[in-house]
């Protein structure tokens, strides 16, 4: 937090891109880049690559703090001893034009990765990553539902700087000391009157409490939903808060590296135990786990924090129209019906 808030600055498009140019000199910049019909968050080498019209990139910011695959350490057998090497992690980077829902994802991911015992790799990257957010003054996509899960289209959680697209340019505001330092590299003029953002309205959906998820645990709904689920990992891999991973060693001839790579509870082999028993043997049971993890187990364990920011990626990208907003409605309705039936 800043003791004395810095005045907002007005940046033209050109000034914004010139700022990116200056940021690129000292650190990696990750920004939305358009490729054909899709926009992806990726590392850029020039400001001209940035897609300023970005709605919601296909991928989330997750991979820049928790890569799809990373080496945890390497072991090398020497003449007398085994040497262990840690990879270099935590280069300076800026995540640029991050939407509030993606930035909000870091709250739950921090709770998980920075809780004891803290994850060294997440911690190092997190420390060295700055976020320049882009507020949603208009609803970017039809699948957005951040307000349902306690977020806001103009929320600033975890950001260092927030940008408001305004009059063909941007209003920039530093939110942290790091943000001030970054913004000091930008041109533009100080605003005389502060810009006060207005949040757009989003369609409201129910957000069932933990008890509701408990009540519908054995509902036939999950099996019916599972009938059409493909069992792929789109919803989890492009989710900003799905964090499941697998760890395995690879290597031969005296050199071994330990890898950590994303994994997903929606896939068939994820929950098979060493005995061969699978506690989640059906697609329905696996889907239920994904939703319950986000709305039941995680908030239960982490003081109410949901593991969902309403970014809408899983809704937009599911090939068989499994729509989380519909799941929320169904759970709310079925929990109420179940409760009414129980009380007679």
In the region spanning residues 142 to 201, those forming contacts with another protein, defined by CB under 8 A, are: 142-143
Collect all residues with Cβ–Cβ distance below 8 Å to 271 and sequence separation of at least 6.
Answer: 265, 278, 279, 280, 286, 289
Question: What secondary structure, in 3-state letters, does 33-86 show?
Answer: EEECCEEEEEEECCHHHECCCCCCCCCCHHHHCCCCEEEEEEEEECCCCEEEEC
Q: Minimum CB separation from another protein for residue 271, in Å? A: 14
Residues 125-144 that bind another protein (CB under 8 A): 142-143
Q: Does 262 bind another protein (CB under 8 A)?
A: yes
Distance between CA 217 and CA 343 in Å, rounded?
18
Task: Give the nearest distance from C-beta 268 to another protein in angstroms.
Answer: 8
Q: Binding another protein by CB under 8 A: which of 13, 38, 77, 337?
A: 38
Among 13, 14, 26, 35, binds another protein (CB under 8 A): 35
Q: How far is the CB of 109 from another protein (least distance, A)?
A: 18
Nearer to another protein, 26 or 249 (CB): 249
Least distance (Å) between residue 168 CB and another protein: 30
Q: Are 160 and 179 in contact (CB under 8 A)?
A: yes
User: How many C-beta atoms lie closer than 10 Å to residue 121's C-beta?
Assistant: 20
Closest Cα partner for 29 from 51, 17, 44? 44
Q: Which residues pair with 82 in a beta bridge?
A: 77
Residue 177 or 220: the one with the smaller Cβ distance to another protein is: 220
- The stretch among 8-16, 36-44, 73-81, 298-306 that binds another protein (CB under 8 A) is 36-44
The rounded distance, in Å, linking the Cα atoms of 259 and 278 is 24
Point out which residues bind another protein (CB under 8 A).
Answer: 35-38, 40, 58-59, 68-69, 142-143, 224, 227-228, 230-234, 236-238, 246, 248, 250, 259, 261-264, 267, 269, 315, 317, 319-321, 323, 325-326
């Amino acid at each position: 937090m800043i003791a004395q808030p810095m005045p907002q600055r007005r940046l033209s498009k050109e000034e914004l891109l010139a700022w990116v140019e200056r940021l690129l000199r000292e650190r990696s910049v990750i920004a939305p880049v358009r490729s054909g019909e899709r926009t992806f968050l990726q590392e850029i080498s020039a400001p001209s690559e940035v897609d300023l019209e970005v709605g919601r990139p296909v991928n989330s910011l997750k991979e820049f703090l928790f890569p799809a695959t990373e080496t945890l350490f390497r072991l090398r057998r020497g003449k007398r001893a085994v040497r262990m090497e840690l990879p270099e992690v935590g280069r300076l980077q800026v995540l640029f034009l991050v939407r509030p829902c993606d930035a909000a994802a870091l709250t739950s991911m921090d709770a998980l990765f920075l809780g004891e015992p803290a994850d060294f790799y997440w911690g190092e990257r997190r420390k060295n990553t700055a976020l320049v957010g882009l507020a949603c003054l208009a609803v970017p996509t039809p699948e957005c539902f951040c307000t349902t899960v306690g977020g806001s289209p103009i929320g600033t959680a975890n950001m260092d700087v927030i940008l408001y697209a305004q009059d063909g340019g941007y209003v920039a505001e530093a939110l942290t000391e790091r943000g001030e330092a970054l913004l000091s590299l930008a041109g533009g003029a100080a605003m005389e009157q502060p810009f006060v953002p207005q949040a757009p309205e989003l369609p409201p959906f129910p957000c069932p409490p933990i008890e509701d998820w408990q009540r519908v645990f054995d509902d036939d709904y999950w099996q019916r939903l599972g009938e059409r689920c493909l069992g792929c990992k789109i919803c989890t891999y492009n989710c900003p808060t799905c964090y499941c991973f697998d760890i395995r060693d690879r290597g031969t001839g005296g050199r071994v590296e330990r890898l950590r790579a994303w994994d997903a509870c929606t896939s068939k082999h994820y929950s098979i135990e060493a005995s061969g028993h699978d506690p989640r043997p059906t697609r329905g049971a696996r889907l239920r786990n994904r939703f319950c993890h986000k709305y039941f187990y995680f908030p239960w364990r982490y003081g109410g924090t949901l593991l969902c920011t309403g970014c809408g990626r899983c809704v937009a990208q599911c090939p068989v129209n499994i729509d989380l907003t519909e799941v929320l409605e169904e759970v709310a309705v079925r929990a109420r019906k179940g409760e009414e039936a129980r009380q007679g």
